[in-house]
């Protein structure tokens, strides 16, 4: 399995190092991968030559025996045996180098897009626009954090969630549970005009996580069921991307548009003490993902479409938001270009990321082996992939209950959610259980 095109290491090594340096990848990591590739190719050539020599000697042994020259045949057999031993040594070395090269290539991130802004960290992200934000619109009743609102209305029970599963596993109840479900159904309904709904498994095999770039680099952030070698999905992007793994699609099938609701599981390794109150950072949450497999020519328009769909859900909910262009130092492992959508939560007084809309170029499809057959003929081409959160529940839930909290403590519901609330237009609290 390769990730970035290994030919870049052979023909454009300096340019590749410069491109990956924008993602803070040390040059020696790229050079090491290039050296391993050269060693792997050298050993492969050496093994081929030895095999060819052994095959030739085998033929010569037969000819010598037919000609009545047993001494010559025995000498040729001895030479063939020695070459066979040499070949076994080379093959063992090649297997080790190939495995090391594979690991090194899997750890190299995607090449950032030329138009991605440069920056060393999230501080370099560029705010493209802010919509609907007016600090003066919020009264004291809005400046209450969602964990307090949830406790007061008995719609968010963090204590019992922790009792069941440990910290950072929230338990929703009553109107809070209905709100979580309603947000997911809203996102599915809004995108059903163009995206095919899928309900994928919540557990996936190791190659499926490797295909999207989660493994091996982010193994510590994932939940692994060692007995079965299965992983809990961190996002529906993972199974949706691999639905067509190893397949050759017809160009006229593209772009594929898929969407899925799944629970998502993340260890949030290293997050201790960092934005972990309430729903700001949790181990399990519900999310609707939208994803596309397409050609390179289709990718820019698809990226814009997915971004607009993510924004549209936030606008329908009436939440202030802003759009960020993610800089190279903050781009994810697999990402070539990303835009984040953030909503403002007045009780936390924070901008919360609720959607990351990303173009992966051919990075994921190359890992997964997803190609297409051009309409006009010619060799098969590797597809591009893109995805975005149509709606991720926890932070939208948090921003919504803070934004729509009323002076009497109830939470008004945006009109787009009314159909999912069995006639209710607000959340006034849940019965004790």
- pLDDT of 1 > 90? The answer is no
What pLDDT score was predicted for residue 432?
45
What pLDDT score was predicted for residue 275?
72
Q: What is the pLDDT averaged over residues 311-337?
A: 97
- pLDDT of 132 > 90? The answer is yes
7-107 maps to CATH 2.60.40.420: no
d(CA 34, CA 12): 10
- pLDDT of 287 > 90? The answer is yes
What is the CB neighbour count within 10 angstroms for residue 362?
A: 22
CA dihedral sign of residues 322, 325, 329, 333: positive
Q: What is the pLDDT averaged over residues 240-256?
A: 97
d(CA 344, CA 322): 8
Give the DSSP H/E element, type plus range, for residue 212: helix 206-212
Query: Domain segments of the chain: what residues?
Result: 7-107, 122-427
d(CA 305, CA 85): 59
Which percentage of the chain shows pLDDT scores above 70? 97
DSSP class of residue 144 equals S
3-class secondary-structure state, position 199: coil
CATH architecture of residue range(s) 122-427 = 2-Layer Sandwich (3.30)
Which burial class, exposed, middle or buried, applies to 30 when counting CB atoms under 10 A from its CB (0-12, 13-18, 19+)? buried
d(CA 416, CA 414): 6
Question: Which residues, listed in sequence order, are joined to residue 248 by a DSSP beta bridge?
Answer: 371
Q: What is the pLDDT averaged over residues 164-186?
A: 97
- pLDDT of 354 > 80? The answer is yes
* Beta-carbon contacts of residue 398 (< 8 Å; ≥ 6 apart): 146, 278, 279, 280, 345, 347, 348, 352
**Which residues of 330-433 form beta strands (DSSP E)?**
337-345, 350-359, 371-373, 381-382, 384-392, 411-412, 426-427
Pair type for strands 350-359 and 384-392? antiparallel
What pLDDT score was predicted for residue 433?
45
Give the DSSP H/E element, type plus range, for residue 35: helix 27-66
């Amino acid at each position: 399995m390769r990730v970035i095109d290994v030919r870049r290491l052979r023909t454009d090594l300096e340019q590749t190092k410069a491109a990956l340096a924008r993602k803070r990848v040390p040059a020696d990591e790229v050079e090491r991968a290039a050296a391993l590739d050269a060693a792997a190719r050298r050993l492969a050539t050496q093994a081929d030559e030895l095999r060819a020599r052994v095959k030739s000697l085998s033929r010569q042994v037969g000819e010598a025996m037919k000609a009545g020259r047993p001494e010559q045949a025995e000498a040729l057999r001895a030479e063939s045996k020695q070459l066979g031993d040499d070949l076994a040594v080379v093959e063992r070395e090649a297997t080790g180098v190939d495995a090391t090269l594979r690991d090194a290539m899997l750890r190299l991130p995607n090449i950032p897009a030329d138009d991605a802004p440069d920056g060393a960290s999230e501080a370099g992200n560029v705010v493209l626009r802010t919509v609907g934000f007016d600090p003066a619109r919020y009264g004291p009743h809005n400046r209450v954090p969602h964990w307090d609102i949830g406790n007061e209305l008995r719609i968010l029970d963090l204590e019992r969630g922790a009792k069941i599963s440990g910290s950072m596993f929230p338990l929703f109840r009553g109107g809070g549970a209905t709100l979580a479900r309603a947000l997911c159904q809203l996102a599915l309904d809004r995108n059903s005009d163009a995206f095919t709904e899928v309900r994928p498994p919540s557990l996936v095999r190791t190659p499926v996580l490797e295909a999207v770039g989660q493994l091996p680099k982010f193994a510590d952030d994932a939940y692994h069921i060692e007995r079965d070698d299965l992983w809990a999905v961190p996002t529906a992007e993972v199974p949706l991307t691999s639905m067509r793994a190893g397949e050759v699609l017809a160009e006229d099938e593209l772009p594929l548009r898929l969407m899925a609701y799944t629970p998502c599981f993340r260890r949030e390794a290293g997050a201790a003490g960092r934005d972990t109150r309430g729903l700001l950072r949790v181990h399990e949450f519900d999310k609707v993902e939208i994803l596309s497999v397409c050609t390179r020519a289709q990718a820019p328009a698809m990226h814009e479409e997915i971004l607009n769909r993510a924004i549209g859900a936030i606008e329908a909910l009436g939440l202030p938001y802003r759009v960020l262009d993610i800089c190279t130092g903050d781009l994810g492992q697999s990402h070539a270009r990303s835009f984040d959508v953030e909503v403002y939560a007045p009780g936390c007084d924070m901008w919360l990321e609720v959607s990351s809309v990303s173009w992966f170029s051919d990075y994921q499809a190359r890992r997964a082996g997803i190609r297409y057959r051009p309409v006009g003929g010619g060799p098969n081409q590797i597809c591009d992939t893109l995805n975005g959160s149509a709606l991720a529940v926890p932070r939208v839930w948090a921003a919504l209950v803070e934004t729509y909290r009323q002076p009497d403590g109830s939470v008004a519901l945006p009109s787009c959610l009314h159909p999912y609330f069995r006639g209710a237009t607000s959340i006034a609290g849940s019965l004790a259980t």
